[in-house]
């Protein structure tokens, strides 16, 4: 029956990150791999969902209020004027928003530029839609954008570019200069941009997230995707959205309706409450995550990782194995599970071979997630610190 699978399906493999989570569960290892919180979601939002279920908001539904609230937030945060009636599509998570966007804009053979390292899912969504991913490597150690490399990656077939900022796995927040370079290149080549801004509220050191769409003349060629998941610690609710100019939004909406028809109704209701959370909520979110970042960053630095780049956003630290370490990233993660009972993600899964930086760096990075409770982080710190030698460095190095 294998021959019955579609050719794209045959090339796909299960998510390595999900696999590691199952392993962590079974070994009772501390999971610093998958990027979801182990602390509860905010009570006011959970209660909103409970109340929605009790009030019988349980049938197929489109909650237009979400579009209105998202439009308000876009104006507040990025100065963007978004029409809630035509420009916003509610989807089952940013995952579905991104997939629907790809199906809406990509034809067979269209090229899509991505920055390496990158979240594993974009690649496959692009290929499922018949597109061809083209990778531009960000330059370590600070993951800077090389504008020449970017220029050279455009061809006549380039249809779109994907920008994820704050960035998974590195935690980089693209600078204004870099955004201007990207915007300039895309405008000159008349290319669409699809952004993944799920970590838009998780940003540190007084940095401000800038949405690429807010740069001059960019809104008409940008599709923004984001969700409730990371901002409100409800990754399991599957409420996200795409924001785009009306004709593209309409296409995305039509595809979404065929893929899932609608997002879970009670959680759409709860999204209204979430999106109206007071500024305090967002401030605490940032400061809590900032202290978690500091905690993990300092720990990793202390035990001998090369962490030249401190993440400015997202919930991840992309730590480099020191030169003395003879283990590959995969071997390292395996050993860390066995010897310290802590799971992280080997970085090579985020690099793609047709990008120039991949050759020499991909086996050296480990991604740690710090979207975990203080207890979990402390326990992980204890376990990791217990594995050091007399110089204070990890024995594994």
Partner 1 sequence: MPHPISFRFNSNQCIWTPSHKMLLRPHYFTLKPFNLFQTFSKNIFPKYKFTEIKRIGSLRFSSIMASSESTAVSTQNATPQPLQVAKRLEKFKTTIFTQMSSLAIKHGAINLGQGFPNFDGPEFVKEAAIQAIRDSKNQYARGYGVPDLNSAVAERFKKDSGLIIDPEKEVTVTSGCTEAIAATILGLINPGDEVILFAPFYDSYEATLSMAGAKIKGITLRPPNFSIPIDELKSAISKNTRAILMNTPHNPTGKMFTREELEAIASLCIENDILVFSDEVYDKLSFEMDHISIASLPGMYERTVTLNSLGKTFSLTGWKIGWAIAPPNITWGIRQAHSYLTFATSTPMQYAAAAALRAPDSYYEELKSDYVAKKKILVEGLKSVGFTVYPSSGTYFVVVDHTPFGLDNDIAFCEYLIKEVGVVAIPTSVFYLNPEEGKNLVRFTFCKDEGTLRSAVERMKEKLPKK
Q: Which is nearer to partner 1, 25 or 298 (CB)?
A: 25
Q: Which stretch binds partner 1 (CB under 8 A): 80-88, 199-207, 243-251, 311-319?
A: 243-251
Distances (CA, A) of 193 to 212, 338, 352: 9, 42, 20
Beta strands in 33-180 (DSSP E): 88-91, 111-116, 132-137, 158-164
Region near partner 1 per CB under 8 A, out of 142-150, 292-300, 304-312, 344-352 = 344-352
User: What's the min distance (Å) between Cβ of 156 and partner 1?
Assistant: 5
Among the listed residues 114, 274, 333, 336, the single contact to partner 1 using CB under 8 A: 333
Whole-number minimum distance, CB 208 to partner 1, in Å? Answer: 28
| Spatial CA neighbour of 292 closest among 172, 384, 185, 380 | 380
292 makes contact with partner 1 (CB under 8 A): no
To partner 1, the closest distance from the beta carbon of 390 in angstroms equals 29
Measured from the CB atom, the residue of 6 and 324 that comes closer to partner 1 is 6
- Nearer to partner 1 by Cβ, of 236 and 392: the residue is 236
Please state the closest distance from residue 195 (CB atom) to partner 1, in A. 16
Find all residues with CB under 8 Å of 329, minimum gap 6, and list them: 321, 346, 347, 348, 362, 363, 364, 365, 366
CB of 140 to partner 1, least distance (A): 16
Contact flags string 118-137 toward partner 1, x per CB under 8 A? ---x-xxx--xxx-x-----
CB of 54 to partner 1, least distance (A): 7
How many residues lie near partner 1 (CB under 8 A)? 105
Closer Cβ to partner 1, 54 or 374, answer by number: 54
The least CB distance from residue 310 to partner 1, in Å, is 25
The backbone torsions φ and ψ at residue 169, rounded to the nearest 5 degrees and listed phi first, read: -100, -5
Per-residue interface string for the shown chain with partner 1, residues 31-50, x marking contact by CB under 8 A:
---x-xxx-xx----x--xx
Residues 49-108 that bind partner 1 (CB under 8 A): 49-50, 53-54, 56-61, 92-93, 95-96, 99, 103-108
The least distance separating partner 1 from the CB of residue 245, rounded to whole angstroms, comes to 8
Tokens of 339: 């010897």
- In angstroms, the Cα distances linking 143 to 149, 234, 272, 310, 313 are 13, 29, 36, 11, 13
Piece of the chain touching partner 1 by CB under 8 A; list 76-84, 141-149, 205-213, 357-365: 357-365
Report, in Å, the least distance between residue 331 CB and partner 1: 8
| Secondary structure letter of residue 388 according to DSSP | B
Q: Which of residues 217-236 bind partner 1 (CB under 8 A)?
A: 220-221, 233-236
Q: Least CB distance from residue 207 to partner 1, whole Å?
A: 26
* C-alpha distances out from residue 312 to 36, 209, 244, 280, Å: 18, 10, 27, 20
Q: Of 201-220, which residues contact partner 1 (CB under 8 A)?
A: 220
Alpha helices in 63-159 (DSSP H): 64-78, 93-105, 120-128, 147-153
Rounded Cα distance between 392 and 4, Å, is 55
Question: Site residues for partner 1, window 359-378 (CB under 8 A)?
Answer: 359, 362-363
Q: What are phi and psi of 320, to 5 degrees?
A: -100, 140
Q: State the residue for tokens 């809590």.
A: 288
Using alpha carbons, select from 269, 222, 273 the residue that is nearest to residue 245. 222
User: CB of residue 58 vs partner 1: minimum separation in angstroms?
Assistant: 5
Which residues, numbered 131-190, are part of the site for partner 1 (CB under 8 A)? 132, 156, 189-190
Q: Does residue 215 sit in helix, strand or coil?
A: coil
Give the torsion through C-alpha atoms of 29, 346, 395, 295, to 10 deg: -70
Residue environment code for 272-290, b if the CB has 16+ CB neighbours within 10 A, otherwise e: bbbbebeeebeeebbeebb
State which of positions 11-30 bind partner 1 (CB under 8 A).
11-16, 18-20, 22-23, 26-27
Paired sense of beta strands 365-369 and 316-320, if any: antiparallel
Q: Which of 76, 207, 338, 392 binds partner 1 (CB under 8 A)?
A: 338
Which CB sits closer to partner 1, 130 or 175? Answer: 130
Q: What are phi and psi of 354, to 5 degrees?
A: -90, 20
Query: What phi and psi, each to the nearest 5 degrees, are found at residue 81?
Result: -95, 110
Residue 284 within binding range of partner 1, rule CB under 8 A: no
């Amino acid at each position: 029956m294998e021959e019955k699978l579609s050719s794209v399906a045959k090339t796909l493999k299960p998510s390595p990150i999900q696999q590691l989570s199952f392993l962590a569960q079974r070994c009772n290892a501390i999971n610093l791999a998958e990027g979801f919180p182990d602390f509860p979601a905010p009570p006011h939002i959970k209660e909103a969902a409970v109340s929605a279920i009790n009030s019988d908001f349980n049938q197929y539904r489109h909650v237009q209020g979400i579009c209105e609230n998202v439009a308000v937030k876009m104006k507040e945060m990025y100065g963007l004027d978004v029409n809630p009636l035509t420009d916003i599509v509610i989807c089952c998570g940013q995952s579905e928003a991104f997939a629907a966007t790809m199906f809406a804009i990509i034809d067979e053979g269209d090229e899509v530029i991505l920055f390496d390292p990158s979240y594993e899912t974009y690649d496959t969504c692009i290929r499922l839609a018949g597109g061809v991913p083209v990778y531009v490597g960000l330059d370590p150690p600070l993951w800077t954008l090389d504008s020449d490399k970017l220029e050279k990656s455009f061809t006549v077939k380039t249809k779109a570019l994907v920008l994820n900022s704050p960035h998974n796995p590195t935690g980089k927040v693209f600078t204004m200069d870099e955004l201007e370079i990207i915007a300039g290149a895309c405008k000159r080549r008349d290319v669409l941009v699809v952004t993944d801004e799920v970590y838009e509220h998780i940003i540190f050191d007084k940095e401000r997230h800038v949405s690429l769409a807010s740069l001059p003349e960019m809104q008409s060629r940008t599709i923004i995707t984001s969700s409730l998941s990371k901002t409100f610690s409800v990754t399991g609710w599957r409420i996200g959205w795409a924001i785009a100019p009306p004709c593209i939004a309409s296409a995305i909406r039509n595809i979404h309706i065929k893929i899932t028809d609608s997002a879970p109704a009670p959680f759409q209701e709860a999204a209204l409450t979430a999106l109206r959370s007071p500024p305090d909520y967002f401030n605490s979110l940032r400061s809590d995550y900032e202290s978690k970042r500091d905690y993990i960053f300092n720990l990793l630095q202390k035990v001998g990782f090369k962490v030249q780049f401190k993440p400015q956003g997202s919930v991840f630290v992309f730590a480099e194995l020191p030169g003395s370490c003879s283990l590959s990233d995969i071997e390292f993660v395996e050993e860390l599970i066995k010897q310290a009972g802590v799971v992280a993600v080997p970085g090579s899964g985020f690099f793609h071979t047709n990008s120039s930086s991949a050759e020499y760096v991909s086996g050296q990075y480990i991604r740690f997630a710090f979207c975990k409770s203080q207890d979990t982080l402390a326990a992980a710190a204890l376990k990791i610190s217990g594995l050091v030698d007399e110089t204070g460095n990890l024995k594994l190095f």
